[in-house]
Structure 1
């Protein structure tokens, strides 16, 4: 195996490498939907158990093979097969082959394929594919391209805060003056913000659970390219810092800064 030349990371655009693969992935998803759903459970990197399907594994293999052909020797850090989160290399690709497996199995459209190219410890290109919405978002450090009809996505009123289903009760207590809506899957929540379908989305710091780098890095770059920001509880901009495990995040399209009443969302849960 050859060693990746960091300069080669400026070579083929991520979209050029993955668009054909993601089209094939859509076919794989449709075939899985029409066949028997073979599901097993794995120990997640956060502890506890979560579902994984043969589809997750097939999509990961398809994406990884395409990336390795484009950038031989460049590490691919993919979700499936991992039981822990180690340090993220300076140059790598983060892959979540099916972000939102549980919602997908429940029939929800809120699932995504997310891939993020990292160079010198910082996200520089990303793709977030939302097959159920026939929507694909491709991102560079400063530009975003959307393929598909954004109107397929749900729209939330400007004062609504979107959060994970298991965090809605806590978010309502922390923000008594704000309505809260539940949307599963980190990538989907952030893309709603990036595309102006929601003004704010959050993953609350909790006693159990955190966000892995492949959960958020691609979609956080999309929010950044759209003029918004995603910050963790320490205030770090997740599109401008090395991807790592984070305890929570807040994505907003507010300018010049999020309303102060959203700050309680990033306080550690007790």
Structure 2
């Protein structure tokens, strides 16, 4: 059963609750996060009662301890951005089967856009023109990585989008050509951040790769020092220095 079938009605309800939360000026966003997590988890468990739902709040000793068959859920990716009033937040879920991602969904409530992926097929709901569009030479990155990216790219335009899944989805939908999370030690990329959106990038003909070259749409979910998402053009090789900044060791191949 596709994730869109399982979660579609619930995601529409969640978008309404998010809009209501914001219109009332409620705080903190952690309360909304818990509400969305409970709502999404309950919906998934009703559809797939034997399938574990794993969220970023689970304290796993390692991502290698993830069940081979499960759903990875991030009920409010970009909670800091959301709390600051940014539209760059998402609800994401990914079906893992035999250790690998096979279905994904990224809901962008502020833009009323949903991207669903099953295998090589992708469905987009909503008006993509609601999303921001960036120039072909522009690279998206996080606030913490922006200055370093500008140094490495020597004058190439760099724009900040604070949430990983949103950056990747913009690449997947052709609203940006490249996005990167630099392996500079500011933060790590966990599967809840990237796995659903990486599937979406793959359906566009693009790739999302870790510093060691792993394709994140076709790898077992794991923690990575960074990632580079590209559509064509530009060629990934043009942006390779972002994944190997001077003085930074190459991530070890698993």
TM-score, with length taken from structure 1: 0.87
| 1:121 CA drift (Å) | 1.1
Asked if 2 retains the 8 angstrom alpha-carbon contact of 1:56 and 1:97, the reply is yes
Q: Equivalent residue for 1:31? A: 20
| 1:142 CA drift (Å) | 0.2
> Structure 1 residues 161, 36: CA separation in 2 closer, same or farther (over 3 Å shift)?
closer
- Asked if residue 21 in structure 1 is aligned to residue 10 in structure 2, the reply is yes
| 1:38 CA drift (Å) | 3.0
| 1:81 CA drift (Å) | 5.5
Q: Equivalent residue for 2:55? A: 78
Count of residues in Structure 1 that have an aligned counterpart in Structure 2: 246
Q: Equivalent residue for 2:122? A: 144
> Structure 1 residues 238, 259: CA separation in 2 closer, same or farther (over 3 Å shift)?
closer
Q: Equivalent residue for 2:216? A: 238
| 1:225 CA drift (Å) | 1.1
Gaps of 5+ in 1: 1-11, 40-51
Q: Equivalent residue for 1:64? A: 41
Q: Distance in 1 between matches of 2:78 and 2:91?
A: 9
Q: Equivalent residue for 2:103? A: 125
Q: For 1:132, what is the secondary structure of its paired residue?
A: coil
Gaps of 5+ in 2: 249-254
- Asked if residue 159 in structure 1 is aligned to residue 137 in structure 2, the reply is yes
Q: Distance in 2 between matches of 1:66 and 1:196?
A: 31
Asked if 1 retains the 8 angstrom alpha-carbon contact of 2:185 and 2:225, the reply is no
Q: For 1:93, what is the secondary structure of its paired residue?
A: strand
CA RMSD, Structure 1 to Structure 2 (Å): 1.7
Q: Distance in 2 between matches of 1:259 and 1:237?
A: 12
